[in-house]
A and B are shown apart, each in its own frame.
Chain A
Amino acid sequence: MSDAPPRGTGSAPVSALVDELRAVARAFTADEAATASILETMAEDVRRALAEPLTIFPVAHHSPASAVHMVRLLRARQPKLVFVEFCEDLRAQVEGLRDCTLPVALQAFSSEPVGFPPDWAPLAVVAPLTELSAEYQAIAYALGTEGVELVFVDRDVDAVFRWMDPADNPMTPEVDDDAEDDDDSGRLHGEAVGMEVGRLEPSFVEFRDALLQNARMTHFSEWNALYIEEPTIGADTHTYREVMAMVGSLFRRLGSTPHAREEIRRRDRFMWTRIKQTLAARKIDPKDAVFICGAAHTVADECPEWGTTNSLLWEEAERDAKSGTAWKYGFIPSSYGAIELQFGHPRGAVTLAETVWRKAIARWNLVPFTLDAGKPTKAAKAGGPKPKAKRTAPVPEQLGLRAVLRDPPPLTEADEAELIGWCTRVVADARKHRYLASTADAIAIYETSILLARMRSRRRPSPFDFIDAAETCLEKGAVPGRRDIRAICNAMLGGDRVGQVGYASLPPLVQDVYDRLAPLGITAKTTKVVRALMDFDAKPELRACSRLLWRLHWMLPDARVARPIMGKLELGAEPRQESWDVRLSGPEQRAVIELGFAGVTVEQVLERRLTEAAFAETARTTAALEAAESCLLLLDRSRLAETLGERAVHLLAREHGPDDAGEIFDRARRLVHHFRAHPDGVPQWLSRFVATGYATYASSLPAAFGDRGTSPAQLGAVLSFVFTLESLALAMGCQRSQLVIAIEQAGAQAADPEKLGLLWATQWLVQLRDEAGVRGAFASVLEHPLGRNAFPRYLSGFLRALAFAPKAAPLAVELLGRAFSVLPDAVLLPWMPGLLTTLREQAIDTVPALMKELARTLPAPGGLARWSPPWIEAPEIAAKAPVIAERSEHARAVDRLLQRFPATTDAWAQALAIGAPWHDEDAVATPVDTSGAARADGPARRLVDAHPETAQAWAPMFVSRR
């Protein structure tokens, strides 16, 4: 059996090793006794761990060596009971692993924790599993082999948080400075607390740094790869266990902070209690069981319950009261990137581990355990598929602990070809990513890899050396494409893998989503983005898919699960075509799974979210109204909409100011317009909302006009609400007098020029002021030398009124015209940006009316030179107007004479057939055209010209009479 102690090893070589180490201590330290004591304790730890009847199998997370030896041990021993250091309450979920594509993570999630600080919410724990994790191999063995039981023995998920210091927030895990999150797959675990079996990194930072500095390494993964992975992967399983036990002892005793050490001890007590309880209950000999745990748990460090040779149980394991938090369990997809990010491994570390694992299983002709969908088969009864018997499996060399500590790992089989292969492939891949790379570079990378390996005391280059060499030779300062050399190398060595949770292991909600999206060809196996083109005329059944996608889009706006490319969701609109990008893999699948923890169907969760949004303690009217509108849009449930709407009415009645008036008005108007065109008419709740709004806003007007904290824009929104929805409000029993009184009162309050402009317009609307009055008010501002500079502000306020008073447009155009003609540039230019901004804000409400009026008023192209604004009297026109000449005294005397004795003139008029207009009363006042032009050719003129004697005889007579 490969895990049996090699000949000549066992406890004797450990003692020999201790003697040897003591000699070293004597040579290098002054205090030999202290060092000896530490060394002896460590040796004792190793001896005790290996002597325990229950096989303790120490592992490191995602360690190929651990996984290889796990496979070997399970095949050799075929234990009946497998204990794993995982939270005991996660056990029920593992059956679902059969259906998943690795890597996936077991997850426990709670959005509403009870008994924990509120800022911890939501709480989540993830335990990622990859094929090369020893714990997965053990799970696959246990689930795939009949008669083998799998037991998780660690404290439950609730205790993970219960045992934490309330001062620490576990949901903000520390992330390594060097860790990069440039990939979607890195976000897969969210902010969950990570659980690893066998976290093999010292928690005592100074100790870890000393190790790294001594080894001249920057990252612990590298240290682990060189000093633990490489030497043990080729060793026998017994030696592997010895090395791991020794490392565990070293890290626990010297490399752990007191806090971490205490936590490990507490977990040890819990786990050994559970182990002994299970063994007793199942009546299984400890020799037929295996306990898979982190290396630190191999040490019996002040833990009386440690080991199966005593019967002590930790009573607190039963007494520890749960918090009352309801936990939801399931799987979420994971990825190598997410694992690296969460556990602070350098980028690509898990990919490299997978490369090593694949090579090792090929080298030792091992068949790893896998889980197939379905029950354990007969072939699996005897411990799963057997290694192929085509060639004899090589047997690992029995090295012993001492040999591993003394000598570098033996050379593996010819790896030269593999390294050359890497060098040529990376150059080819780099070229594809627009690097200038040639065969000469492949040679340089090969040489550099060898040199780096030698410098780092390795017999042959590791993937770390290869990547460093490739980076040195190919990276030239700037990255020409999307990937840098390190990313190219990682992709070449296997790349990131993203897992997928299988259909059967998904929560009901997610299964339902997959079922309903099946017409779009989306299944639980789809890993790519699906572009869904929906033509509802051709396929009306796709409307259901569209509705689901809109709901997912609303609930997960940032998760990119459903992204509309073409199509809009509007009240009352029935689209004929839509186009969507749908992703339900990787992080997106995780997001939907977490939704699945909140309810059984998407609609149920949506309903709850809407209700929560509207009924939250701090909810404002806008939130409730939005929820009501979203309910109509997404769920089309009028009863829920009514509940939400009533909540909005309730909140609106308690609104203290017009802060949200703009948004409230927009939504309310949209809803009213929609329902006015609806066969059922405006619902009661909406009518009540409008009436409440009218009453609330109308009564708040005096305060709003006077309050400096209320902006003119907010005031404009309030007035828009009041005037635009007034008809509905009056129909609901509101009184206009309330508004008129409020506006009258507001007149005394308003002082701000912009608000005054708005007020004048409002007064005009409610007939407290006529158009001339408004014009006069503005004229007084313009004429006043001190008020003139503020004229733009008055006008800005007036322009806001256009949103609810289109009849003000002609006057607005006139006032704008006056402002531009009268005001100096020094006033106009600073005003321009503000004017444009105001107009842009009201682009929909104001600008169309203004443009229409301008188009009516302004001349056609080309006519500008002769055009004059209608509100200004043009001087040219005045010049052309009939000139009433100043009449001389003679002329006035003639007039008087003619009027007193009209008989002669009448006779002449009769003779000339020209009528007698002087008999009209008005004619007296009507000026007579004496320009002469009109009568130059007239018959009277001709008569006078022909017989001037009469006129000449009269003339002296008129003069003498004067």
Chain B
Amino acid sequence: MTELLRAPAETKYAEELAYLAGVDDTKRPFSWRLSPKMVRIFVLGSRDKDGLDRTIAQKWYGHAALVEKAIVTLASDRGLLLIGDPGTGKSWLAELLAAAICGNSTLVVQGTAGTSEDHIKYAWNVAEVIAKGQSKSSMIPSPMMTAMIEGKLGRFEELTRCTSDVQDALISILSEKYVSIPELDTDNIVFAQPGFNMIATANSRDRGVNELSSALKRRFNYVQIPIVTNRRAEKEIVEFRVRDLLRRNQFEVEIPPALLEVLLQTFADLRAAAQGAASDDERLESALSTAEQIGVVEDAVLHGQFFGAATVEPAALAQALVGTLVRRIPEDLTVLNKFWHAVVQERAKEHGGPWDEFLAAGKQALALHE
């Protein structure tokens, strides 16, 4: 197979999925590839008590109850809306669920301010319409319609970024489970096949942009994905993703555990500071999610690989952190400057070790911005 920059989950974990399908002997909803329990194992990893003769790695970190809620929603009549702050792993969870349940996670509509009804339903091949007239063959089905036709899971990213009229086009898809094509005289209804459902994601920070109508809300079950604040879980996520990055790039970069602690502690402190801030100007624009931490480590790893001594230095980490978090100048810079001198300085005084270098490099990076 040709190498891909980023393979979809069903390709990346094809072997695991095939194995789980092979050993799955429990009841499953009609047309699902795996039973709900196996889907859960695929997403959350296997445990000894599952009785499998091999280990399935954990791919998404968070409350198991959330994943269970998501899986049972997809088995029901309602669509699933994953809602949460940016970087909490909503899209990744959606991709894993789609890959495990229907073996295809690529039927995605990306919601933007410019998304139109055509992107959700169908469009026309204009040349063919001119040549042959309107017919099923000249119709271009959207990924959502393809999911309906094939009885798979359609994904809708950033649903609340779309305008309300476009969002409402989903109502009939979710309740009647068909799309009518008024342009055609015959054969003008596309019915959804069993197995069709929808996983949408929405950014809770953008919720106010285009709030969902009540009619659409009641056709979705909401699953709120919180920011991971548990240190241990967060550490696992960061390590998992960094390992993934190293494997993908065939790097040999070492991340000292003490340094990872520095990063986690800094983010925990930043979150605490953001919580105590009185106004938006006093907190960073960033949601301080786990994804941001992964981004920081990735930057530091790449720096270490190409410009360092194949190890991640505290200085590189501090520079990456400042670079990632300073988005608004001067607000973010002011916040970070204050934080660095009040909190990081204290930590360095208290713990020493990598904190000292981290402190100095952060100050330097902030000075460069200034």
A interface residues with partner B (beta carbon < 8 Å): 28, 177, 213-218, 436, 438, 440-441, 444, 447-448, 451-452, 454-456, 468-469, 471-473, 475-478
Closest to B36 in A: A455
Contacts of A216 in B (CB 8 A): 40, 44, 47, 64
Q: In B20-63, which residues have CB < 8 Å from any A CB?
A: 36-37, 40, 44, 47-49, 63
Contacts of B78 in A (CB 8 A): 444, 473
Do A452 and B68 contact each other (CB < 8 Å), given the known contacts A214-B48, A216-B47, A447-B76? yes
Sample (26) of A-B pairs whose CB atoms are under 8 Å apart: A28-B48, A177-B229, A177-B230, A213-B47, A216-B44, A216-B64, A444-B76, A448-B76, A448-B221, A451-B72, A451-B75, A451-B76, A452-B68, A452-B72, A454-B36, A455-B71, A468-B65, A468-B68, A469-B69, A471-B69, A472-B221, A473-B78, A473-B221, A475-B222, A475-B224, A478-B207
Contacts of A478 in B (CB 8 A): 207
Do A477 and B72 contact each other (CB < 8 Å), given the known contacts A214-B49, A216-B44, A217-B64? no
Contacts of B218 in A (CB 8 A): 436, 438, 440-441
Closest 7 CB pairs between A and B?
A: A451-B72, A216-B64, A472-B69, A214-B47, A472-B221, A476-B217, A455-B36
Contacting pair A218 B73 (CB below 8 A): no
Contacting pair A468 B214 (CB below 8 A): no
Closest to B76 in A: A447
Contacts of B229 in A (CB 8 A): 177
Do A456 and B68 contact each other (CB < 8 Å), given the known contacts A438-B218, A447-B76, A451-B36? yes
Contacting pair A218 B68 (CB below 8 A): no
Closest to B74 in A: A451
Interface residue B346 (Cβ < 8 Å from any Cβ of A): no
- Expressed in whole angstroms, the minimum distance between the Cβ of A260 and any Cβ of chain B is 21
**What's the tally of chain B residues with a CB closer than 8 Å to chain A?**
32
Contacting pair B222 A476 (CB below 8 A): yes
Contacting pair B217 A455 (CB below 8 A): no
Tell me, in angstroms, the Cα distance from A58 to B220 when the chains sit together.
46
Interface residue B253 (Cβ < 8 Å from any Cβ of A): no
Closest to B27 in A: A454
Contacts of A452 in B (CB 8 A): 68-69, 72
Contacts of A177 in B (CB 8 A): 229-230
Do A472 and B204 contact each other (CB < 8 Å), given the known contacts A216-B40, A436-B217, A454-B36? no
Contacting pair B83 A477 (CB below 8 A): yes
A-contact bits for B213-238, CB 8 A (1 contact / 0 none): 01001101111100001100000000
Contacting pair B77 A444 (CB below 8 A): yes
Contacting pair B47 A472 (CB below 8 A): no
Contacts of A440 in B (CB 8 A): 218
Which residue, of B37, B69, B77, B214, has the highest number of chain A Cβ atoms within 10 A? B69
B interface residues with partner A (beta carbon < 8 Å): 36-37, 40, 44, 47-49, 63-65, 68-69, 71-73, 75-78, 83, 204, 207, 214, 217-218, 220-224, 229-230
Given A451-B75, A455-B36, 6 more A-B residue pairs with CB atoms under 8 Å apart are: A214-B47, A216-B40, A217-B64, A444-B221, A477-B204, A478-B207
Contacts of B48 in A (CB 8 A): 28, 214
Pick from B37, B49, B65, B222: contact of A477, CB under 8 Å: B222
Tell me, in angstroms, the Cα distance from A473 to B80 when the chains sit together.
10
Contacts of B83 in A (CB 8 A): 477
Contacts of A447 in B (CB 8 A): 76-77
Contacting pair B224 A477 (CB below 8 A): yes
- Expressed in whole angstroms, the minimum distance between the Cβ of A24 and any Cβ of chain B is 11
Tell me, in angstroms, the Cα distance from A444 to B77 when the chains sit together.
8
Contacting pair B207 A477 (CB below 8 A): yes
Which residue, of B49, B214, B222, B223, has the highest number of chain A Cβ atoms within 10 A? B222
- Expressed in whole angstroms, the minimum distance between the Cβ of A223 and any Cβ of chain B is 12
Contacts of B223 in A (CB 8 A): 472
Which residue, of B78, B207, B223, has the highest number of chain A Cβ atoms within 10 A? B78
Tell me, in angstroms, the Cα distance from A454 to B222 when the chains sit together.
21
Contacting pair B73 A472 (CB below 8 A): yes
Which residue, of A218, A469, A476, has the highest number of chain B Cβ atoms within 10 A? A476
- Expressed in whole angstroms, the minimum distance between the Cβ of A519 and any Cβ of chain B is 47
- Expressed in whole angstroms, the minimum distance between the Cβ of B53 and any Cβ of chain A is 11
- Expressed in whole angstroms, the minimum distance between the Cβ of A183 and any Cβ of chain B is 21
Contacts of B71 in A (CB 8 A): 455
Contacts of B44 in A (CB 8 A): 216
Tell me, in angstroms, the Cα distance from A302 to B237 when the chains sit together.
42
Tell me, in angstroms, the Cα distance from A217 to B44 when the chains sit together.
12
Do A218 and B63 contact each other (CB < 8 Å), given the known contacts A451-B75, A473-B78, A477-B204? yes
- Expressed in whole angstroms, the minimum distance between the Cβ of A250 and any Cβ of chain B is 15
Which residue, of A438, A469, A472, A478, has the highest number of chain B Cβ atoms within 10 A? A472
Contacts of A454 in B (CB 8 A): 36
- Expressed in whole angstroms, the minimum distance between the Cβ of B164 and any Cβ of chain A is 16
Tell me, in angstroms, the Cα distance from A218 to B223 when the chains sit together.
16
Tell me, in angstroms, the Cα distance from A948 to B229 when the chains sit together.
118
Closest to B58 in A: A213
Tell me, in angstroms, the Cα distance from A213 to B47 when the chains sit together.
8
Tell me, in angstroms, the Cα distance from A475 to B73 when the chains sit together.
13
Contacts of B64 in A (CB 8 A): 216-218
Tell me, in angstroms, the Cα distance from A472 to B40 when the chains sit together.
17
Contacting pair A455 B40 (CB below 8 A): yes
Closest to A209 in B: B232
- Expressed in whole angstroms, the minimum distance between the Cβ of B84 and any Cβ of chain A is 10
Contacting pair B72 A455 (CB below 8 A): yes
Contacts of A476 in B (CB 8 A): 217, 220, 222
Contacts of B76 in A (CB 8 A): 444, 447-448, 451
Contacts of B63 in A (CB 8 A): 218
- Expressed in whole angstroms, the minimum distance between the Cβ of B229 and any Cβ of chain A is 7
- Expressed in whole angstroms, the minimum distance between the Cβ of B74 and any Cβ of chain A is 10
Contacts of A436 in B (CB 8 A): 214, 217-218
Tell me, in angstroms, the Cα distance from A455 to B66 when the chains sit together.
13
Closest to A475 in B: B222
Closest to B44 in A: A216
- Expressed in whole angstroms, the minimum distance between the Cβ of B71 and any Cβ of chain A is 7
Contacts of A218 in B (CB 8 A): 63-65
Tell me, in angstroms, the Cα distance from A215 to B68 when the chains sit together.
13
Tell me, in angstroms, the Cα distance from A456 to B68 when the chains sit together.
9
Contacts of A456 in B (CB 8 A): 68
Tell me, in angstroms, the Cα distance from A441 to B76 when the chains sit together.
12
Contacting pair A455 B37 (CB below 8 A): yes
Tell me, in angstroms, the Cα distance from A940 to B309 when the chains sit together.
122
Contacts of A444 in B (CB 8 A): 76-78, 221
Contacts of B204 in A (CB 8 A): 477
Tell me, in angstroms, the Cα distance from A438 to B68 when the chains sit together.
23
Contacts of A438 in B (CB 8 A): 218
Tell me, in angstroms, the Cα distance from A452 to B64 when the chains sit together.
12
- Expressed in whole angstroms, the minimum distance between the Cβ of A169 and any Cβ of chain B is 20
Tell me, in angstroms, the Cα distance from A438 to B47 when the chains sit together.
39
Contacts of A448 in B (CB 8 A): 69, 72-73, 76, 221
Tell me, in angstroms, the Cα distance from A472 to B214 when the chains sit together.
16
Closest to A478 in B: B207
Tell me, in angstroms, the Cα distance from A456 to B69 when the chains sit together.
11
Tell me, in angstroms, the Cα distance from A454 to B78 when the chains sit together.
19
Closest to B215 in A: A436
- Expressed in whole angstroms, the minimum distance between the Cβ of A470 and any Cβ of chain B is 11
Contacts of A441 in B (CB 8 A): 218
- Expressed in whole angstroms, the minimum distance between the Cβ of A667 and any Cβ of chain B is 34
Tell me, in angstroms, the Cα distance from A64 to B265 when the chains sit together.
41
Contacts of B224 in A (CB 8 A): 475, 477
Tell me, in angstroms, the Cα distance from A455 to B224 when the chains sit together.
20
